[in-house]
Structure 1
Amino acid sequence: MAEPLGPVTWLDIWRADGVEVAEDATHLHGRGLAGLRWAVRHAVHRIRHPHVRIPYGPHRDQWGHLYLPSARDAGPARAVPEGDVPSGDPSPAGDVGSAIPVAEGDAASGEHGVPLLPRRRAAVLGVRAGEVAGGPSPVVVLVHGGYWRSVWAADLMEALCADLTARGFAVWNLEYRRPDLHGWDATTADVAAGVEALTRLDAPLDLGRLAVAGHSAGGQLALRAAADGAGVALAVSLAGVLDLVEGDRRWVGTGAVAAALGVTTWDDLPERERSTAERVYGGASPLVRVPIKVRQLIVQGSGDDLDLVDFGRRYARAAANAGDEVTYLEMVGDHFAVIDPRTPIWEATAHAIAEALH
């Protein structure tokens, strides 16, 4: 029997929850027929941009993919010249960075004896961790969206991983437990733990130049992590859900906010439930948390859902009025243009990130 050509991507069209798969396999599920496009795209990215999953906890959804700029890149945090921006489709194998694998017998143990982070650098694709261009690289943590639902996963951000690595950034594409299956506290804790795990990774990372960037629901999680003291120099919202109170009242994502947080903000709640809602939303909603005392970049496509456009504009004003250093970037584009490397709005975003982490 012939060996498979590369890592396997399993696609379940309707299944709501994930299943355990081999470490070199991926299970995409619950996205309907439209999920076929994402499955093909993910399979191509995995073949052309190999990386190794590094767990930060015992659950199958507690991991990240680390990408490093290769020695062939021009230097740290550079801007890609106009006309040379990588497309959403990956370039030939090995062109854009690589990851540090956790080799057998080479992992520090986290809680429950789970291999956590490598004790020494390992080679992959002929690029060693110590051979990236320009020494330690600035780091961007990517937090995917999907209205906090388990059918969407870190593969949504893979095109940005390739683009940012080509610009000289190290990228940590973070997966986390979603609240529809694990509860809101698990989601919040995972994002914080995933960012903190970088401090224990033996890799050429400049954590003094660390950004966390989230798309859609991930924008809320990114700003929440920054507000909770994740130690980042820059927090980036890409079409983020930044007002959870109003998001619940407007039923964004067909009730996604209340479903994720486990409580609604409706005015006719009993007193005890109202108190719980105030506590949960007070900790989770970026608009309630200002000032977060971290430099911020709020990016919004003008053709996105009008509620998200409104949230982004109002949040940026509120944060600035509260004393935060905020840049608001609104350009033509829909909800996914902000994570598509081929678009002008992403090019402007990437330049702004590079400028902030220079």
Structure 2
Amino acid sequence: MMDPRDPAGVAAAEEASLFGLAAVAPDATAAYGEHPDQVVDFHLPPEGAAGGPAPLVLLFHGGAWRAACDRRHLSPFAAHLAIHGLAVALPEYRRGGVAPGRRGGPGASGSCDGGTPGAARRAGRGVEPGGEAHPEHPAGAQHLAGRWPETFDDIAAVVDAVPRLVRENALPGVDAERPVLAGHSAGGHAALWAAARHRLPPGAPWRLSAPPRVRGVVALAPIADLTTARALHVCSDAVDQLLGTGDEGAARLPFADPAALLPTGVRTTLVRGGTDVDVPPQVVDSFVAAATAARQPPRVVRIAGAGHFPLIDPTAPAARTAVDEIARLAADGPDA
């Protein structure tokens, strides 16, 4: 039995529960680009479960933008959403490359966040579905967090491509015209950023001329404010690795930080665990403060007694709240 007086032990047990789940095979997979990571898996609800066209959820996985975690660790939660009548698009995207001259030791391919490797992480380790190693993610290598600009290229590209992919693959009964953007941890950042592309500085390659056609955003334990996450060294300095340090990082921050791209005009819900030690509460709180100052206060749902991973673990009670919040936005009609 977990001892609530041992936060590290509780967090490790929550992580072990999620990463101990078997990956769930998708109903369909489509490519949105030529790179091996530019693919998206579709998890579809049982026939008739949605009572009509199933709203689409575009669900981004986390893992601190590092190659150690791929989309498969989020597949049980994607399948769980599908059981509840939602169609889910679960994309892969380019994550961190191999750190020069660094192999093995702490932070190797068994670790999503660059900290102490988690023995529980048996799924989602940058290995292709057939079992062979990914050509850019060799076993035993240490990986940086994300790639500039490729990680952002892929987030933008898959959001733009998914409605077309649904049509081209003739996926039955899927309403993809106004998806819900959702994501966990670094994937929560991706969802918030994708909803804010019309707020990017002029000249940004990902900028949209108008708000995206989405029902809203549900960000689960998101790395929502990169400035605060950087100051707190979240996920072993993942933000510095994603953007760079010094003048380089400062120049990229206005193009990458959702907290700097407010207001979006897109309905936004943030869900966080009350005992999350991976993404501290200050990261969400600072985003909420910025959004409130921009006169777009988001809906915030705090789940007492839950850490970082139960939000996406179908066996944990906290996942019920996450499903309910996603379903709440998905239930709005296409013209809402």
TM-score past 0.5 threshold: yes
User: Given the superposition, is the C-alpha separation of residues 352 and 41 from structure 1 closer, same or farther in structure 2, using an over 3 Å criterion?
Assistant: same
1:198 has 2:198 as partner: no
Q: What is the SS of the residue equivalent to 1:152?
A: coil
User: Given the superposition, is the C-alpha separation of residues 192 and 312 from structure 1 closer, same or farther in structure 2, using an over 3 Å criterion?
Assistant: same
Q: What is the SS of the residue equivalent to 1:235?
A: strand
What RMSD in Å do the two structures reach over aligned CA positions? 2.3
| TM-score, normalised via structure 1 length | 0.65
* Cα distance in structure 1, aligned partners of 2:176 and 2:227: 33
Which structure 1 segments of 5+ residues have no match?
1-33, 77-132
* C-alpha deviation, 1:63, in angstroms: 0.3
* C-alpha deviation, 1:209, in angstroms: 4.0
Q: What is the SS of the residue equivalent to 2:299?
A: strand
* C-alpha deviation, 1:344, in angstroms: 3.1
Partner of 2:83: 166
1:243 has 2:225 as partner: yes
Partner of 1:287: 259
- What code does the residue aligned with 1:210 have? P
Q: Which has the larger radius of gyration?
A: 1
- Tell whether the 8 Å contact from 1:148 to 1:178 is kept in structure 2 after alignment: yes
Q: How does 1:67-78 map to 2 (within 5 A)?
A: 67-73=43-49, 76=50
Partner of 1:220: 189
* Cα distance in structure 2, aligned partners of 1:234 and 1:38: 28
* Cα distance in structure 1, aligned partners of 2:33 and 2:274: 38
* Cα distance in structure 2, aligned partners of 1:150 and 1:295: 30
Partner of 2:299: 327
* Cα distance in structure 1, aligned partners of 2:217 and 2:177: 13
Deviation string, structure 1 residues 91-147 (Cα, Å, up to 9, x no partner): xxxxxxxxxxxxxxxxxxxxxxxxxxxxxxxxxxxxxxxxxx41x211111111111
Q: What is the SS of the residue equivalent to 1:146?
A: coil
- Tell whether the 8 Å contact from 1:196 to 1:230 is kept in structure 2 after alignment: no
* Cα distance in structure 2, aligned partners of 1:307 and 1:159: 22
1:54 to 25, 30, 36: 30
Deviation string, structure 1 residues 259-302 (Cα, Å, up to 9, x no partner): 112x12xxxx4xxx2xx433311111111112122111101001
Instruction: Out of 297-306 and 59-68, give the one that drifted further.
Output: 297-306
Which structure 2 segments of 5+ residues have no match?
1-14, 99-145, 198-210, 332-336
* C-alpha deviation, 1:216, in angstroms: 0.8
Q: How does 1:149-188 map to 2 (within 5 A)?
A: 149-180=66-97, 183-188=147-152
Partner of 2:310: 337
* C-alpha deviation, 1:39, in angstroms: 7.9
- Runs of 4+ residues over 4 Å off in structure 1: 37-40
* Cα distance in structure 2, aligned partners of 1:209 and 1:354: 14
- What code does the residue aligned with 2:147 have? G
Q: What is the SS of the residue equivalent to 1:198?
A: helix
User: Given the superposition, is the C-alpha separation of residues 298 and 40 from structure 1 closer, same or farther in structure 2, using an over 3 Å criterion?
Assistant: closer
Partner of 1:258: 240
- Tell whether the 8 Å contact from 2:178 to 2:213 is kept in structure 1 after alignment: no
- What code does the residue aligned with 1:345 have? A
Partner of 1:305: 277
| TM-score, normalised via structure 2 length | 0.69
- What code does the residue aligned with 2:321 have? A
Partner of 1:355: 328
* C-alpha deviation, 1:238, in angstroms: 0.8
* Cα distance in structure 1, aligned partners of 2:296 and 2:97: 32
* Cα distance in structure 1, aligned partners of 2:303 and 2:37: 33
1:232 has 2:210 as partner: no
* Cα distance in structure 2, aligned partners of 1:325 and 1:206: 28
1:137 has 2:119 as partner: no
User: Given the superposition, is the C-alpha separation of residues 242 and 60 from structure 1 closer, same or farther in structure 2, using an over 3 Å criterion?
Assistant: same
Determine what percentage of the aligned residue pairs are the same residue.
Answer: 32
* Cα distance in structure 2, aligned partners of 1:161 and 1:250: 30
Deviation string, structure 1 residues 47-101 (Cα, Å, up to 9, x no partner): xxx533211111111001112212152xx2xxxxxxxxxxxxxxxxxxxxxxxxx
Partner of 1:66: 42
User: Given the superposition, is the C-alpha separation of residues 237 and 54 from structure 1 closer, same or farther in structure 2, using an over 3 Å criterion?
Assistant: same
- What code does the residue aligned with 1:156 have? H
Partner of 1:211: 180
- Tell whether the 8 Å contact from 2:225 to 2:259 is kept in structure 1 after alignment: yes
